């Protein structure tokens, strides 16, 4: 559950492997940035339409960690905007 409103640029990949699926459940209103680098040990998020995801309470975002063309990223596989 994502409870804060702080912008999310990237997600830590520690203890995740390619094929891992994560579901972000929002109870607040952060923006999750499309293709924005984070610090060491993180992967960018890539979204349908190549635009940022602006969450509202009750929204969900489903991502899969994958590597395509040598680029490891959390790629969007689904969203529910309430």
Give the global pTM. Answer: 0.93
User: Which of 26, 39, 37 lies closest to 73 in space, CA to CA?
Assistant: 37
pLDDT tens-digit profile of 10-52? 999 999 999 999 999 999 999 999 999 999 999 999 999 999 9
So what's the pLDDT on residue 50?
A: 97
| 75 vs 82: CA distance, rounded Å | 21
The C-alpha R_g of the chain, in whole angstroms, comes to 12
So what's the pLDDT on residue 69?
A: 94
| 17 vs 19: CA distance, rounded Å | 6
pLDDT tens-digit profile of 45-58? 999 999 999 999 99
């Amino acid at each position: 559950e994502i409870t804060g409103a702080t912008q999310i640029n990237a997600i830590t990949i520690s203890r995740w492997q390619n094929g891992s699926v994560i579901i972000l459940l929002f109870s607040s209103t952060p923006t999750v940035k499309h293709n924005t680098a984070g610090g060491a040990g993180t992967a960018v998020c890539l979204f349908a339409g190549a635009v940022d995801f602006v969450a509202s309470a009750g929204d969900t975002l489903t991502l899969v960690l994958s590597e395509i063309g040598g680029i490891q990223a959390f790629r969007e596989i689904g969203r529910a905007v309430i």
